[in-house]
Structure 1
Amino acid sequence: MTFILTVIAIALIAAAIGLLYVKWRGEGVPALVLGLAVPVAWGCLCVSAALWMRAYTPDFGLSVGFLIFMCLPLIIIGWQGYRGWISAPLSHRERREKAPADPTASPGKGLRITARFLSCLIVAPVTGMAVGLLAWAYMPGHGSTRYAWAVFFFTFSFAVALMAGLAAQRPWRATGLIALTGAAASALVSLPILTGSV
Structure 2
Amino acid sequence: MSCSDYNDLILQNSQSTDTLCLSCKQSASIKYIKITDVHPEIVLVVFECKTCNIKNTSIFNEKSNTKRLVITCFFKNKDDLKREVNLNMNTQLFLEYKSVKYEHESSLPIVISVEGIIDQALDALQNNTVFGDRGEMMKIMEILKGIKDEPKFYMRIEDKDGSSRVGLRDRGIYEMQNCPIEEFNDSFVTHEYLQ
Q: TM-score range by the shorter chain?
A: under 0.3
Under a length normalisation based on structure 2, what TM-score does the superposition of the two structures give?
0.22
Give the number of the structure whose residues are more often strand, by fraction: 2
Structure having the higher Rg: 1
Give the number of the structure whose residues are more often helix, by fraction: 1
Structure number with the bigger relative contact order (C-alpha 8 A, sep ≥ 6) is 2
Under a length normalisation based on structure 1, what TM-score does the superposition of the two structures give?
0.22
